[in-house]
Amino acid sequence: MLAQPPIWLIILAFIAAISPLVFFHELGHYLVGRLFGVGAETFSIGFGREIFGWTDKRGTRWKVGWLPLGGYVRFIGDMSAASTPGDVEELPPEIRERSFPVKPVWQRFLIVLAGPAANYLLAVLIFAAFFATFGMPSTPSIVAAVQKGSPAASAGIRAGDRIETVNGEDASSFEDLERIVALRPGEDVTIRLTRDRQSTLLTAKLTTAVEHDRFGQSFHVGRLGVFATGEQSRTVPPLELLPQAARYTYVLTVATAQGIWRTVSGRMASDEIMGPLKLPQVVGQQAALGPLVFVQFLAFLSINLGFINLLPVPMLDGGHLFFYVLEALRRRPVSLKFQEWAFRGGLAFIAAVYLLLTMNDLGSFGLWDRLGRLIG
């Protein structure tokens, strides 16, 4: 078991991970806004008091805040960093026409969508670079052996079978198979496989295994009990790099959505989700494993940042997109009063989620066990 990384590495790695992800996210907003002629007052990486910054010739203040937990672009006409619309009637005409609220709804939609899209683009580029350098993991899901007494043995899976799908999801590679099964500890699954050129449909009840990473952290995963002949990778032609990287990014996005849904529906323990205290530690651990592992983890974080921002929660990009869809359907904006109350509700929801995840993080650090022993 590896020792936990020192606190200085955790801090530096967290800043090195979050800052570029936030920068790319906000850069997406900024560039598309600039494309549509929207002026930006502030481009901030981090919150709170400005550490350093500069003002460009367009009047945009580029700055770095002391709290590296996010960032924002404040366009002309925004009342706050959360892009709540302000009163643009009092602005001079030449400035008002460059303000965000007066732009057509489809332009505002694309400007907001550009942030999460930039995070997905960054992930695709990282995966494409890895596939070009090291090849793409592609181990055929042909069963080399079946573990005795395992769900696979009980379901009738044999050596030589080729697993095609699990619960309708493509499992034609062992990498996909492991990902699908790991997310479903203790669940019943339907498996379609090919045996002697014939398609066969089987059902299996997955077991639950407790695994430990190299830093001693434990988590629950599903297990089927089949083995491959060995890990394989294939060379990806240059023209296929971006499509394959996009597919891989899509697969990880689906896995992220499934993980969130399984947590909400109670099929996955909420204490296995990283919170604001656990995340820096995990980022530091990935950095301690080497630059290649760290960069791959950045791609995973970028996908998560893009996906979470697309959730239809006020205060997030997805909440704004939801309002713009309503505006397009109703052909008039949602009232400012309703938006204000919605943003307050979204802020309360996000604060509650952060509180829950922080409690989980403190539990994973053993705080509640120590308090229990003290009280007992």
CB count within 10 Å of CB 365 equals 13
Q: Which residues contact 283 (CB under 8 A, 6 or more apart)?
A: 10, 13, 14, 17, 18, 297, 301
Closest CA to 363 of 218, 179, 148, 166: 218
Are the C-beta atoms of residues 297 and 274 closer than 8 Å to each other?
no
Torsion, Cα 265 271 276 281, to 10 degrees, reads -140
Q: Which two tokens stand for residue 322?
A: 């939801």
Specify the residue for token string 């990473």. Answer: 213
CA dist 42 and 259 (Å) reads: 35
* Tokens coding 307: 């996906």
* Cα–Cα nearest to 324, from 127, 83, 163, 95: 83
Please say if 26 is a catalytic residue.
yes
- Among 171, 237, 233, 165, smallest CA distance to 202 is for 165
Contact between 226 and 143 under an 8 Å Cβ cutoff? The reply is yes
Q: Exposed, middle or buried, 358 (CB in 10 Å: 0-12/13-18/19+)?
A: middle
User: Residue 107: which of 38, 27, 28, 59 has the closest Cα?
Assistant: 38
- Residue 122's Cβ-count burial label (10 Å; 0-12, 13-18, 19+) is buried
User: Which residues have a catalytic role annotated?
Assistant: 26
